Amino acid sequence: MNALSHPETTSREPVELPPVAVETPADEGGLGKRGIAHTRIAGDVVNRATANLPDKQRSAIRRFHAYYVEHELTTRELGALIRVSGVTISQVFNGKYGAKLDAVVKEIDSFFALEDSRSEGRKLPFIETDLTKRIWQVCNAAREFQKFAFIFGDSHIGKSTSLESFRDAHNHGSTIYAYIPTGATFTNFLYILAKPLRIPLNIPVSRLRERIIDSFDDRMLLLVDEIHNVIRPTSSMRSLDCIEFVREIFNTKKCGVVASGTNVFRDAMEKGDLYKILGQTKRRRLCTLQLPNKPTQKDLNTFAAFYGLPPSTGAARDLEKKIVEDEALGMWLTLLRSASKIAFQRKETMSWEHVHFADAGMKALESSTF
C-alpha cells in the first residue's frame, strides 16, 4: 500500500479556517491552482448538507464535490462543467439551493457518465474472486445493518485490494476508507481519515476530531484497514486511541464499520488489552470473517483465466505454489502481468511458457552483480 505524507505534529496550533463555507474572490477567479490561498468548501460541510437527501442526489453531489477537491477546481470552473454558475454550485454544496435539485443532479450524472467512459481503458484490472466476494458481502452487510464487523487474515492475502475495490465501487460519499500506518499516532490517523472526507487539515486537532465525527451518518460505511498497526511492543495504551476513536464514530453515528487486519490483532482482541477495550463491541459485532492463510486454488485459477491461461498443471503449478507460499499473492500477480506484457510485445497468445520466461527474467535480475 502506498504511504501517504502527513503533516508533522507541532506544539503550535494552526489557525482554524472560517466556518463559512464559501470561496474567496481569488478562488472564484480561477487562481487557486496557481498558489493563491483560498477557503475551499470542505467535505464535512457537504456531507451535513446532503445527509437527508435521497440516495441518488446525495451520492451525485458528494461525488461531484470529491471531483472538485481532487482536481483543485474553483466553483466557477466546476459549474462550467455542467453549465451552471459557481454560485449555484456553492449553494448546492452548502444545502442552500432553493430550487429542486433534479436538474442539477441530472447534469452531474451526465458529466460522470462521460468521464467514466473515457477513463475505463485507463483503469487497472480488478479481478473478482471468491475472497473478494466474501469481503464485499461483509461490507454490504455492515452498512445495511449498521454494525461492526471484523476481517482477519495474513498479510498479502488480498484484504486491502478487496476493501479498496469496494470503496471505489461505492465511493460516492457513502464509503470511507482509511488505514492505520505503522507507528501511527492518533493525530496521524485523523489526518488520514480527514483526507477521504475532504476536510482541511490546517485546523486544531480537537476541532478536526469533531468535524470527522460530524461527517458520518447512519447511511455510511467506514472501512479501517491495517488495524493491527495499533499493536506496539510497549505498555503504553496511547497506540489504542485510534481504535477508541473508530468505536466512538460507530457508537455516535450508528454507521457501519469494517475493521481489517492480520491475525495479530485478532489474538490481541481475544486475550490482550484490546479485549478490555473492545469486549462490548466484539460481543455486539455483526460477524468476524477469518480468511485462509493463502489463496485457494479456485481463486488462483480465476487469476490465470483473466490472462487467458488454463488452470496450472505440472511445472506451472509448482511455480505458482512456490511463489504464492514464499513471496505471497502480490508477487504472483506481478509475474502474471509481466508475462502478459511479454506475450503482447511478441504478438503471441499468452501461455504458461511466458510465465516461466518472466520468472527466469526476474531471477536473472536478482542474481545480477554490479
Region 215-242 average pLDDT: 81
Which CATH entry fits the domain spanning 130-290: 3.30.70.360, 2.40.50.100, 3.40.50.300, 3.40.50.1370? 3.40.50.300
Q: What is the pLDDT of residue 225?
A: 96
For 178, 228, 243, 244, the CA distances from 277, given in Å and listed in that order, are 21, 15, 9, 8
- Grade residue 283 by pLDDT with cuts at 50, 70 and 90: confident
User: Strand runs (DSSP E) across the chain, as ranges?
Assistant: 148-152, 175-179, 221-225, 256-261, 287-290
Check whether 353 has a pLDDT greater than 50: yes
Q: Global pTM? A: 0.78
Please give the class, per CATH, of domain 25-122: mainly alpha
Tell me the per-residue pLDDT of 56-89, one tens digit each, with 9 for 90 and over. 999 999 999 999 998 999 999 999 999 999 999 9
At 238 the pLDDT is 52
Residue 48: CA count within 13 A, CB half-sphere: 14
Among residues of the chain, what percentage have pLDDT more than 70?
Answer: 83
Lowest mean pLDDT among 174-178, 198-202, 277-281, 361-365: 277-281
Q: What does the pLDDT average to over 167-176? A: 83
Give me the sheet containing 175-179, strands edge to edge. Answer: 175-179, 221-225, 256-261, 148-152, 287-290
Looking at residue 39, its pLDDT comes to 72
CB 56 within 8 A of CB 102: no
Could you report the per-residue pLDDT of 307-330, keeping only the tens digit for each?
Answer: 999 999 999 999 999 999 888 888
Identify the weakest region by mean pLDDT among 63-77, 139-153, 354-368: 354-368
**pLDDT of 203 above 70:** yes
In this predicted structure, the answer to whether residue 186 has a pLDDT above a threshold of 50 is yes
**Topology match between the domains 25-122 and 130-290:** no
The residue ranges of every structural domain in the chain are 25-122, 130-290, 297-367
Which of the pair, 128 or 103, is modelled with greater confidence?
A: 103
Residue-level pLDDT at 76: 94
- Reference 180, options 160, 199, 161; nearest CA is 160
Rounded CA-CA distance 75/77 in Å is: 5
Q: What is the pLDDT of residue 140?
A: 94
Phi, then psi, of 256 in degrees rounded to 5: -75, 150
* Greater model confidence, 255 or 181: 255
Per-residue pLDDT band for 266 (boundaries 50, 70, 90) equals confident
Q: CA-based angle 118:121:125, to the nearest 5? A: 135
